[in-house]
Chain A
Amino acid sequence: MNRITASCRITNRGVFVDGQLLKPFSGDDPVENLGAAYKGLALDYPKFYKMDLLAKAAFLGVEILKSNCPDLAGDADDDPAMLFANSESSSDTDLKFEESYGNNGLPSPSLFVYTLPNIAMGEVAIRNKWYGSQMFAVFPNFAPAYYADQARLLSDEGAKKWICGWIDVREKLDVLLFALDDAMLHEPELVTGIQHLYDN
Protein backbone atom coordinates (compact mmCIF):
# COMPACT_ATOMS: atom_id res chain seq x y z
CA MET A 1 0.00 0.00 0.00
CA ASN A 2 0.95 3.64 -0.19
CA ARG A 3 2.72 4.29 3.05
CA ILE A 4 1.22 6.76 5.44
CA THR A 5 4.19 9.02 5.06
CA ALA A 6 3.98 11.13 8.17
CA SER A 7 3.26 9.96 11.67
CA CYS A 8 4.21 11.09 15.12
CA ARG A 9 3.84 8.90 18.20
CA ILE A 10 4.27 10.35 21.68
CA THR A 11 4.36 8.02 24.68
CA ASN A 12 6.05 8.12 28.09
CA ARG A 13 9.13 6.75 26.34
CA GLY A 14 9.55 9.71 24.02
CA VAL A 15 8.65 11.24 20.68
CA PHE A 16 8.82 8.95 17.64
CA VAL A 17 8.64 10.15 14.06
CA ASP A 18 7.76 7.53 11.47
CA GLY A 19 8.77 4.92 14.03
CA GLN A 20 12.17 6.49 14.74
CA LEU A 21 12.96 7.88 18.18
CA LEU A 22 13.30 11.66 17.88
CA LYS A 23 13.44 12.57 21.55
CA PRO A 24 13.55 10.23 24.52
CA PHE A 25 11.84 11.22 27.78
CA SER A 26 13.62 10.60 31.06
CA GLY A 27 10.74 10.90 33.53
CA ASP A 28 7.02 10.13 33.65
CA ASP A 29 5.64 13.63 34.18
CA PRO A 30 3.64 14.46 31.03
CA VAL A 31 3.86 18.23 31.65
CA GLU A 32 7.64 18.08 31.80
CA ASN A 33 7.91 15.68 28.90
CA LEU A 34 5.74 17.72 26.56
CA GLY A 35 7.54 20.87 27.69
CA ALA A 36 10.88 19.30 26.84
CA ALA A 37 9.58 18.22 23.44
CA TYR A 38 8.37 21.78 22.81
CA LYS A 39 11.75 23.25 23.72
CA GLY A 40 13.43 20.78 21.39
CA LEU A 41 11.45 22.18 18.47
CA ALA A 42 12.69 25.73 19.09
CA LEU A 43 9.34 27.28 18.21
CA ASP A 44 8.39 30.76 19.30
CA TYR A 45 4.81 30.16 20.44
CA PRO A 46 4.51 31.10 24.13
CA LYS A 47 0.78 30.24 24.04
CA PHE A 48 1.93 26.63 24.24
CA TYR A 49 2.49 27.01 27.98
CA LYS A 50 -1.09 28.08 28.54
CA MET A 51 -2.59 25.05 26.80
CA ASP A 52 -3.85 22.00 28.64
CA LEU A 53 -2.16 18.64 28.13
CA LEU A 54 -4.52 17.54 25.35
CA ALA A 55 -3.91 20.68 23.34
CA LYS A 56 -0.15 20.55 23.99
CA ALA A 57 -0.02 16.96 22.72
CA ALA A 58 -2.08 17.79 19.62
CA PHE A 59 -0.10 20.95 18.94
CA LEU A 60 3.28 19.20 19.23
CA GLY A 61 2.20 16.21 17.18
CA VAL A 62 0.98 18.40 14.33
CA GLU A 63 4.09 20.63 14.42
CA ILE A 64 6.27 17.52 14.12
CA LEU A 65 4.08 16.13 11.32
CA LYS A 66 4.38 19.39 9.40
CA SER A 67 8.16 19.40 9.59
CA ASN A 68 8.12 15.90 8.13
CA CYS A 69 5.37 16.41 5.59
CA PRO A 70 5.86 19.67 3.68
CA ASP A 71 2.52 19.22 1.89
CA LEU A 72 0.70 20.12 5.09
CA ALA A 73 2.34 23.44 5.78
CA GLY A 74 1.36 26.68 4.10
CA ASP A 75 -1.32 25.38 1.76
CA ALA A 76 -3.93 28.07 2.04
CA ASP A 77 -6.62 26.87 -0.39
CA ASP A 78 -6.69 23.28 0.67
CA ASP A 79 -6.86 23.06 4.44
CA PRO A 80 -6.73 19.57 5.90
CA ALA A 81 -9.78 18.33 7.79
CA MET A 82 -9.11 17.16 11.35
CA LEU A 83 -10.30 13.80 12.67
CA PHE A 84 -9.48 13.38 16.33
CA ALA A 85 -10.52 10.97 19.03
CA ASN A 86 -9.54 9.68 22.45
CA SER A 87 -10.89 7.60 25.30
CA GLU A 88 -10.96 10.16 28.09
CA SER A 89 -12.53 13.24 26.48
CA SER A 90 -11.24 16.24 28.45
CA SER A 91 -11.35 14.60 31.88
CA ASP A 92 -7.81 15.64 32.84
CA THR A 93 -8.76 19.32 32.70
CA ASP A 94 -12.34 18.66 33.85
CA LEU A 95 -11.00 17.45 37.19
CA LYS A 96 -8.66 20.42 37.57
CA PHE A 97 -11.51 22.80 36.82
CA GLU A 98 -13.77 21.03 39.31
CA GLU A 99 -11.06 21.51 41.91
CA SER A 100 -10.82 25.24 41.12
CA TYR A 101 -14.48 25.87 41.94
CA GLY A 102 -14.96 23.04 44.41
CA ASN A 103 -12.22 23.97 46.85
CA ASN A 104 -12.10 27.72 47.00
CA GLY A 105 -15.06 28.82 44.90
CA LEU A 106 -12.89 30.54 42.32
CA PRO A 107 -13.50 28.83 39.00
CA SER A 108 -10.57 29.32 36.67
CA PRO A 109 -11.59 30.60 33.22
CA SER A 110 -8.35 29.43 31.63
CA LEU A 111 -9.07 25.90 32.83
CA PHE A 112 -12.74 26.05 31.78
CA VAL A 113 -11.90 26.84 28.17
CA TYR A 114 -10.08 23.52 27.93
CA THR A 115 -12.87 21.40 29.43
CA LEU A 116 -13.90 20.30 25.94
CA PRO A 117 -11.84 17.83 23.96
CA ASN A 118 -12.27 19.63 20.64
CA ILE A 119 -10.40 22.71 21.91
CA ALA A 120 -7.20 20.81 21.09
CA MET A 121 -8.20 20.84 17.41
CA GLY A 122 -9.12 24.50 17.78
CA GLU A 123 -5.57 25.29 18.96
CA VAL A 124 -4.13 23.51 15.94
CA ALA A 125 -6.51 25.39 13.65
CA ILE A 126 -5.54 28.72 15.24
CA ARG A 127 -1.83 27.99 14.93
CA ASN A 128 -2.07 26.99 11.26
CA LYS A 129 -5.06 29.07 10.12
CA TRP A 130 -6.77 25.88 8.99
CA TYR A 131 -10.48 26.42 8.32
CA GLY A 132 -11.29 22.82 7.33
CA SER A 133 -13.90 20.71 9.06
CA GLN A 134 -13.26 18.98 12.38
CA MET A 135 -14.60 15.95 14.18
CA PHE A 136 -13.91 14.67 17.68
CA ALA A 137 -15.15 11.26 18.82
CA VAL A 138 -14.78 9.40 22.11
CA PHE A 139 -14.10 5.63 22.01
CA PRO A 140 -13.14 3.07 24.68
CA ASN A 141 -9.92 2.21 22.76
CA PHE A 142 -7.89 3.29 19.76
CA ALA A 143 -10.17 2.79 16.74
CA PRO A 144 -8.26 2.77 13.43
CA ALA A 145 -11.41 2.28 11.33
CA TYR A 146 -12.80 5.60 12.59
CA TYR A 147 -10.12 7.53 10.70
CA ALA A 148 -10.41 5.51 7.50
CA ASP A 149 -14.23 5.63 7.53
CA GLN A 150 -14.53 9.33 8.33
CA ALA A 151 -11.92 10.30 5.75
CA ARG A 152 -13.79 8.32 3.10
CA LEU A 153 -17.08 9.96 4.10
CA LEU A 154 -15.61 13.45 3.87
CA SER A 155 -13.75 12.76 0.66
CA ASP A 156 -17.08 12.56 -1.19
CA GLU A 157 -17.68 16.18 -0.21
CA GLY A 158 -14.36 17.36 -1.54
CA ALA A 159 -11.85 16.96 1.30
CA LYS A 160 -8.43 15.81 0.07
CA LYS A 161 -6.28 15.46 3.16
CA TRP A 162 -6.74 14.76 6.81
CA ILE A 163 -4.85 15.21 10.03
CA CYS A 164 -5.78 12.33 12.29
CA GLY A 165 -5.15 12.22 15.99
CA TRP A 166 -5.51 9.99 19.03
CA ILE A 167 -4.72 11.96 22.18
CA ASP A 168 -4.95 10.37 25.62
CA VAL A 169 -2.88 12.13 28.26
CA ARG A 170 -4.31 11.52 31.71
CA GLU A 171 -2.96 8.16 32.84
CA LYS A 172 0.01 8.20 30.50
CA LEU A 173 0.91 9.84 27.22
CA ASP A 174 -0.74 7.84 24.44
CA VAL A 175 -0.63 10.08 21.42
CA LEU A 176 -0.60 9.38 17.70
CA LEU A 177 -0.84 11.95 14.94
CA PHE A 178 -0.74 11.03 11.28
CA ALA A 179 -1.62 12.48 7.92
CA LEU A 180 -3.78 10.86 5.25
CA ASP A 181 -4.33 11.97 1.68
CA ASP A 182 -6.92 10.87 -0.85
CA ALA A 183 -4.46 8.60 -2.68
CA MET A 184 -4.40 6.30 0.37
CA LEU A 185 -8.12 6.15 1.03
CA HIS A 186 -9.02 3.17 -1.03
CA GLU A 187 -6.10 1.00 -0.02
CA PRO A 188 -7.60 -2.21 1.39
CA GLU A 189 -4.90 -2.34 4.06
CA LEU A 190 -5.49 1.18 5.32
CA VAL A 191 -7.02 0.21 8.68
CA THR A 192 -4.27 -2.30 9.37
CA GLY A 193 -1.69 0.32 8.42
CA ILE A 194 -3.15 2.79 10.90
CA GLN A 195 -3.22 0.18 13.67
CA HIS A 196 0.43 -0.55 12.86
CA LEU A 197 1.36 3.10 13.43
CA TYR A 198 -0.27 2.92 16.84
CA ASP A 199 1.32 -0.39 17.84
CA ASN A 200 4.81 0.68 16.86
Chain B
Amino acid sequence: MASETLKNELKGHIIEQLNLEDIKKEDFVDEAPLFGEGGVGLDSIDALELIVLLEKHYHINVTNPEEGKVVFYSIDSMADYIEKHRK
Protein backbone atom coordinates (compact mmCIF):
# COMPACT_ATOMS: atom_id res chain seq x y z
CA MET B 1 0.00 0.00 0.00
CA ALA B 2 1.23 3.44 -0.89
CA SER B 3 1.66 5.95 1.91
CA GLU B 4 -0.96 8.54 2.84
CA THR B 5 1.66 11.26 2.39
CA LEU B 6 2.21 10.24 -1.22
CA LYS B 7 -1.52 10.06 -1.91
CA ASN B 8 -2.09 13.45 -0.36
CA GLU B 9 0.73 14.99 -2.39
CA LEU B 10 -0.59 13.30 -5.53
CA LYS B 11 -4.07 14.78 -5.06
CA GLY B 12 -2.51 18.22 -4.83
CA HIS B 13 -0.56 17.66 -8.06
CA ILE B 14 -3.69 16.40 -9.84
CA ILE B 15 -5.76 19.40 -8.80
CA GLU B 16 -3.03 21.74 -9.97
CA GLN B 17 -2.13 19.97 -13.22
CA LEU B 18 -5.75 19.49 -14.32
CA ASN B 19 -7.11 22.86 -13.18
CA LEU B 20 -9.73 21.21 -10.98
CA GLU B 21 -10.62 24.50 -9.36
CA ASP B 22 -13.84 23.35 -7.76
CA ILE B 23 -12.42 20.11 -6.35
CA LYS B 24 -10.63 19.78 -3.01
CA LYS B 25 -8.32 17.02 -1.80
CA GLU B 26 -11.11 15.72 0.45
CA ASP B 27 -13.35 15.16 -2.59
CA PHE B 28 -11.16 12.28 -3.79
CA VAL B 29 -12.11 8.77 -2.71
CA ASP B 30 -8.84 6.82 -2.86
CA GLU B 31 -10.26 3.62 -4.32
CA ALA B 32 -12.97 5.19 -6.57
CA PRO B 33 -12.57 5.49 -10.35
CA LEU B 34 -11.10 8.84 -11.43
CA PHE B 35 -12.68 8.69 -14.89
CA GLY B 36 -16.23 8.65 -16.18
CA GLU B 37 -19.44 9.84 -14.58
CA GLY B 38 -19.44 10.59 -10.87
CA GLY B 39 -16.41 11.07 -8.67
CA VAL B 40 -14.06 13.71 -10.05
CA GLY B 41 -15.08 12.83 -13.64
CA LEU B 42 -11.79 13.03 -15.54
CA ASP B 43 -11.69 12.66 -19.34
CA SER B 44 -9.28 11.44 -22.00
CA ILE B 45 -7.30 14.69 -22.18
CA ASP B 46 -6.89 14.55 -18.40
CA ALA B 47 -5.43 11.07 -18.80
CA LEU B 48 -2.78 12.47 -21.14
CA GLU B 49 -2.13 15.29 -18.69
CA LEU B 50 -1.60 12.71 -15.91
CA ILE B 51 1.13 11.15 -18.04
CA VAL B 52 2.83 14.56 -18.08
CA LEU B 53 2.32 14.80 -14.30
CA LEU B 54 4.08 11.47 -13.70
CA GLU B 55 7.01 12.54 -15.82
CA LYS B 56 7.24 16.01 -14.27
CA HIS B 57 6.99 15.09 -10.59
CA TYR B 58 8.15 11.47 -10.44
CA HIS B 59 10.28 11.06 -13.60
CA ILE B 60 8.20 8.12 -14.72
CA ASN B 61 7.61 7.57 -18.43
CA VAL B 62 4.32 6.05 -19.54
CA THR B 63 4.59 5.53 -23.27
CA ASN B 64 1.53 3.40 -23.91
CA PRO B 65 -1.86 5.10 -23.42
CA GLU B 66 -3.39 1.66 -22.81
CA GLU B 67 -1.12 1.25 -19.81
CA GLY B 68 -2.47 4.57 -18.55
CA LYS B 69 -5.97 3.13 -18.27
CA VAL B 70 -4.81 0.70 -15.57
CA VAL B 71 -2.41 3.08 -13.84
CA PHE B 72 -4.86 5.98 -13.61
CA TYR B 73 -7.85 3.96 -12.48
CA SER B 74 -7.86 5.48 -8.99
CA ILE B 75 -5.71 7.42 -6.53
CA ASP B 76 -4.73 4.07 -5.01
CA SER B 77 -3.60 2.55 -8.31
CA MET B 78 -1.66 5.68 -9.27
CA ALA B 79 0.10 5.89 -5.91
CA ASP B 80 1.01 2.19 -6.03
CA TYR B 81 2.42 2.63 -9.51
CA ILE B 82 4.48 5.62 -8.41
CA GLU B 83 5.92 3.72 -5.41
CA LYS B 84 7.02 0.90 -7.71
CA HIS B 85 8.47 3.02 -10.50
CA ARG B 86 9.71 6.28 -9.05
CA LYS B 87 13.34 7.15 -9.67
Contact = CB atoms under 8 A, between A and B. Distances in A.
A and B touch in the complex (CB under 8 A): yes
Interface of A: 35, 46, 49-50, 104, 106-110, 113
Contacts of B56: 104, 106
Contacts of B23: 46
Interface of B: 18-23, 41, 45-46, 48-49, 52, 55-56
A148 B42 CA distance: 40
A147 B18 CA distance: 35
B80 to A, nearest CB: 23
A113 B45 contact: yes
Interface centre among A35, A46, A107 (most CB of B within 10 A): A46
Nearest to B46: A110
Contacts of A46: 20, 22-23, 41
A110 B18 contact: yes
A49 B55 contact: no
B45 A110 contact: yes
Candidate in A49, A107, A113 with the most chain B CB atoms within 10 angstroms:
A49
7 contacts: A35-B21, A50-B46, A108-B52, A109-B45, A109-B52, A110-B18, A113-B45
Contact of B49 (A35, A49, A104, A110): A110
Contacts of A49: 19-22
A24 B62 CA distance: 45
A45 to B, nearest CB: 10
Nearest to B40: A46
A110 B19 CA distance: 10
B48 A109 contact: yes
A108 to B, nearest CB: 6
A83 to B, nearest CB: 27
Given A46-B41, A104-B56, A110 B48 contact: yes
Contacts of B21: 35, 49
A50 B48 contact: no
A109 B41 CA distance: 18
Given A50-B19, A106-B55, 7 more contacts: A46-B22, A49-B22, A104-B56, A106-B52, A109-B52, A110-B19, A110-B46
Contacts of B49: 108-110
Nearest to A35: B21
The residue in B18, B23, B41, B52 that gathers the most chain A C-beta atoms within 10 A of its C-beta is B52
